[in-house]
Structure 1
């Protein structure tokens, strides 16, 4: 096994999003490998200060300060994750030659530095990549935020231009890699058309069943949610977790809950996260919404277990690990038809609800049908937890089956594995 550098140019904190959490989980799994595995893994993140966190003698997390950090930008009103827009990061470039495999996961400073440094390195290094975020789609949404009150044609022109520019950049960086991993069949098909089918392989997401599990029989998680955050004790709780912005479909969900309340439904919305739409949702729903702010994984796990339904209208996810976490926590999940997140379901309609139309009426109808039918809600929650337990892979399994073969193989010698949807593993094995 080689020395591997994974490049995650996002700010790491206790409340970071799914991309960062994904690589924290993979690093934890790698730290649990036997000493004779031979793997040496370093995951590079951005950080407020430079530091090293050692998980084991052969696994470490390294935080480097950004050069042009987007934390200083206010165009998206706090909606975007913090990355580094610098075209080259000298600090990272000085460290990369100590590794054999350079694994790109994004499309900004770290990725461009690795591609540039690889061309200049006298010895051979291997570049691989994985796709975690639909960066072009996010750029379009943030372009609209940046445009503010511009006329609609100008806003759309800016959004379209940002999307095209980021798509070109992403493919330029990916084209330098010998292998590219993606979580869903649709994403792999799209990449294969541009890069060639032999270069594209699956990278599923795992679930941590120790952190995420259903509430205790005595309802301890629900009681704690009522006590700590003041949510209504006697109303069905609809949870949303993620960035509170248009990229995740939050305006649609807020409008649907407002419609539910107008119909007399007892629904209450719980939001875990922060972002540009927080104020709008608070004004629209008033006492019918509880905003928890960003939460660490342990805190979020208790919130999942204390709620009833997980509603996630986002169409920009490449995988949507929050859906797997919600299912492992025993929530009924409600998702948009055709979204990549539906790959976590094995029997749509039985272990999760799929909404056909992205309208407040369609979402209000789907949510209302659940919370006004307790037996159906209970059955969905039970089947959801069963699917998570029997069909979703663990992080350990994904590391062994999806990542280690790619990192260990010589160029052009990666064994092909049957492509499986993001949430299906052919069994739960650890």
Structure 2
């Protein structure tokens, strides 16, 4: 009999959804293709209730939010929409049929699971994976709304306490990188934390020598320009203005550098005001279009510190795009040899970013060397979504379900 797994994504799933949703779309596609022996239901938010089957044993179930944060998301410039209600009764009814509940966020769906678990005499196994640093994002967004720093810090602390309560309610917690393990073990105890990596589709994301010409023709880019790409949500949480200010300083010094932005968010307007003709805003892109943009640019500048892993880095490396990352960010875990297959910025301010970008802009040979090393690392070390599903997720689901079955039989 198949283990029935419910994954509670609790974000709106649409064409513009961010990396959290895309991650679970890739895992669902892998499960539908590989049939790993579980029955998998992924619960997401949407405008109307519905079911989208990917196979006989894999499906997305869309539920309308009880208290959607759509207006707030729009105010913040496109933040992924979630459900701020404390409980979702429609989800609660559906959860009872599953053997494993897998939480991935910290709002209505997760709160519903924990509340329901406390009422059931024999609850299913519970797993949680951390995809977003919710406390850090809470502080960043409140500052974006011009709230006082003390208010932002207090809200972040409250979000951390709520997250930690959810983690302690779970049998297993999955983190994206080794540095996170110690922090989470301090909350839930040792022996309950393991790694959940991310995959990359190297058939979609790959070097394409013709991509630059197509990109330039489509968007009127100059042949001699150095194209510095930022990909992701365009807001304060990703520190996109750091990249923008670095490019502004280089342009003021007479360097032919352009910032190309793939994504949308509240900082799009300020970036345009800062850089004028020096920025190209592409908006949200589908995966195939994004792959072409990666392959057509000269480097990825990704100053974000809030990522748990940052899949855009792996995608860019697979396309042969040199990546420039903050030294302190977890995104650097994608690199096998920092300095050889990617650049880390030690002085993490606009001056430091301008210096590293300028060095790469003026050295095409080094960019080519970094590109070759990035592709080599991608092929040798970065796993497919199917492998991550088989190696990191399935054993945890099966172990958690098995442990709960034993507990029931003893009680």
Q: Same fold, TM exceeding 0.5?
A: yes
What is the match of residue 138 of structure 2?
Answer: 139
Native 8 Å contact 1:46 1:66 kept in 2:
yes
Counterpart Cα distance in 2 of 1:65 and 1:132: 22
What is the match of residue 192 of structure 2?
Answer: 199
Verify: 1:352 aligned to 2:342, yes or no.
yes
What is the match of residue 153 of structure 2?
Answer: 160
- Structure 1 residues 318-337: aligned runs within 5 Å: 318-337=308-327
What is the match of residue 259 of structure 1?
Answer: 249
Any idea what SS the aligned residue of 2:260 has? strand
Structure 2: runs of 5 or more not aligned: 405-411
What is the match of residue 389 of structure 2?
Answer: 399
Give CA-to-partner distance per residue, 1:257-312, whole Å, 9 cap, x none: 00111122111110011111111110110111000011121221111111110010
Counterpart Cα distance in 2 of 1:205 and 1:292: 25
Counterpart Cα distance in 1 of 2:16 and 2:263: 8
- Structure 1 residues 343-422: aligned runs within 5 Å: 343-410=333-400
Verify: 1:3 aligned to 2:4, yes or no.
yes
- Which residue, 177, 180, 183 being the options, matches 1:184? 177
Any idea what SS the aligned residue of 1:3 has? strand
The range that moved more, 67-76 or 373-382, is 67-76
- Which residue, 283, 291, 311 being the options, matches 2:273? 283
Counterpart Cα distance in 2 of 1:299 and 1:120: 47
Give CA-to-partner distance per residue, 1:166-204, whole Å, 9 cap, x none: 000000111100000001111111000111111111111
Counterpart Cα distance in 2 of 1:229 and 1:95: 47
Deviation, 1:233, is 3.1
Counterpart Cα distance in 2 of 1:161 and 1:59: 40
What is the match of residue 408 of structure 2?
Answer: none
What is the match of residue 310 of structure 1?
Answer: 300
Any idea what SS the aligned residue of 1:61 has? strand
Deviation, 1:410, is 4.3
Deviation, 1:145, is 2.1
Deviation, 1:227, is 2.5
Give CA-to-partner distance per residue, 1:224-268, whole Å, 9 cap, x none: 212222233331211001111111111111100001111221111
Counterpart Cα distance in 1 of 2:221 and 2:162: 44
Counterpart Cα distance in 2 of 1:74 and 1:184: 28
Give CA-to-partner distance per residue, 1:86-144, whole Å, 9 cap, x none: 10011111111111100000000000001111122343311110000000000001111
Native 8 Å contact 2:300 2:321 kept in 1:
yes
Any idea what SS the aligned residue of 2:11 has? strand
Native 8 Å contact 2:322 2:374 kept in 1:
yes
Any idea what SS the aligned residue of 1:281 has? helix
Matched residue count: 403
Give CA-to-partner distance per residue, 1:13-42, whole Å, 9 cap, x none: 1221110010001111111224xx431001
After TM superposition, where is structure 1 displaced by more than 6 Å over at least 4 residues in a row? Answer: none
What is the match of residue 409 of structure 2?
Answer: none
Verify: 1:338 aligned to 2:328, yes or no.
yes
Native 8 Å contact 1:76 1:145 kept in 2:
no
Structure 1: runs of 5 or more not aligned: 415-430
Q: 1:410 to 1:276 in 2, by over 3 A?
A: closer
What is the match of residue 419 of structure 1?
Answer: none
Counterpart Cα distance in 2 of 1:184 and 1:406: 16
Counterpart Cα distance in 1 of 2:360 and 2:382: 24
Counterpart Cα distance in 1 of 2:230 and 2:62: 29
Give CA-to-partner distance per residue, 1:286-344, whole Å, 9 cap, x none: 11100001112122111111111001000000000000000001100000012100000
Verify: 1:239 aligned to 2:238, yes or no.
no
Normalising by structure 1, we get a TM-score of 0.91
What is the match of residue 208 of structure 1?
Answer: 201
Counterpart Cα distance in 2 of 1:163 and 1:282: 30
Deviation, 1:411, is 6.3
